[in-house]
Amino acid sequence: VRVAYWDSVLNWHYAEQEKGKIVIDPLADQTMTETYENGISTVLCLAYGNWLYSKQGRRKGEKQIWVVPFEWPPPPTETEEHFQAWLRFVRTMVRHFKGRIRYYEIWNEQNGNWNAVYKRPSKTEQAISEYVRLVKESVRVIREEYPEAKIMLGSTGGFDREYITACLKQGVGPLLDVIPWHPFYGTQQDLPQYRSYRSDVRAWRKVCESYGFKGEYMATESGWYAPYPAPDKPFGGGAVSEIVKAKYLARYITMSVGLDLTTFWNTTWHHYTWWDLGLFRNPNSADPVSPTQPQAAYYVLRTMCTLLDSATPATVPVEFSNKQAEFDLDAFRLPGGRTLVGVWIPGRAADDSPRVTTDIAFPGLRFARAVGIDTLNGTEQPLEVSGGRLRGITVKDYPTFVRLEPA
């Protein structure tokens, strides 16, 4: 899970509301303990500025207004006092959560919000240099407090390779353990930027490695939307149905695990009815009791997590007898010598899925038994195997998985 990347009680502007006094919300603190004790790894985003140390002092906002984004503090680079106060905040958070939280992310979407309060571009040479200094000094403090910590560059809004490269050129690569980004928000899955994502990520890894980075990669935010009723101007790439949202989730998670990316759906629950970013239906908040009902995407994500647990990306030879159809696939190895292959029809999904029938062969791969798994419904069934070939497999516009048991 990932926390404090938006308006959060764990952000600096909430934790320090009186100069020199950093208070960690006790309920959030307890939640982090329970998360750790239940075997869940947490990414804590260290963000944002603090009005207490800004040149102009806090502007008077509306009562109960969100600080981010409506009263966004400036980044801690205006004065040395502001910068040193930021480092004290970083030190306090890392020292307090050491042992419970291992991943620390330095800012969030700095490629778009670094100078948001001043409405200045965030991708100028000066802005990037300011951010890189913040990263380097924050890394130093984190290493002093917690040498085993995993330190992340701030996630970029979008798969912003140009911005990250500019940071790498200033020497942050060897200092970091994780490079993250936010690849998709409502992006229709027939668009070129989605269809080329696999090759783009693989090529991007080589670029990062050329600047001395040797860590892991994370896609820390992505999501698709199914608001009801659909707004006239939907957020991102447009609104889809709940079923299509679930299908897109299954495709995206499969592709991401196939790329060996730690991947986050943003978010579990979201209260904007016109956005519908979460995995639950938005209730009517005027009700005395607001029931929170899972969408289809919730169950599909649960199935995907179970199905891909312990899966590692693999290259598996696959041949389809149907040469007229286009297929998308990712392959994995499972413990015990098992092989897992997910296959689907690419492009835009629909409520009523098109169906393509094909035989599937795995040249050079010996297996004794095959099981088909429907990710939308979570059902399994044995498949007919003849001469090392699966006969008459129905492929839909969301992943059907085939698990091959060794001979």
pLDDT tens digits, residue range 225-278? 898 877 777 776 678 999 999 999 999 999 999 999 999 999 888 777 778 888
Residue 221's CB is within 10 A of a number of other CB atoms, namely: 24
Which parts of the chain register pLDDT below 50? Answer: none
Q: Supply the pLDDT for residue 44.
A: 98
- Buried b or exposed e, range 80-102, using 16+ CB within 10 angstroms: eebbebbbebbbbbbebbeeebb
Q: What is the mean pLDDT of the chain?
A: 93
Residue 377's CB is within 10 A of a number of other CB atoms, namely: 11
Phi, psi of 394 (to 5 degrees): -90, 120
Question: Per-residue DSSP letters for 266-324?
Answer: S-SS---TTT--SSBPPP-TTSSS---PBPHHHHHHHHHHHHTTT-EEE----EES--S
DSSP bridge partners of 406:
367
Q: Supply the pLDDT for residue 70.
A: 82
Q: Is the alpha carbon torsion for 119, 141, 165, 45 positive or negative?
A: negative
Q: Supply the pLDDT for residue 239.
A: 86
Q: Supply the pLDDT for residue 272.
A: 73
Tokens 């497999």 belong to residue: 393
Phi, psi of 250 (to 5 degrees): -60, -45
Q: Which two tokens stand for residue 93?
A: 């958070």
User: Are the C-beta atoms of 100 and 33 separated by less than 8 Å?
Assistant: yes
Q: Supply the pLDDT for residue 61.
A: 65
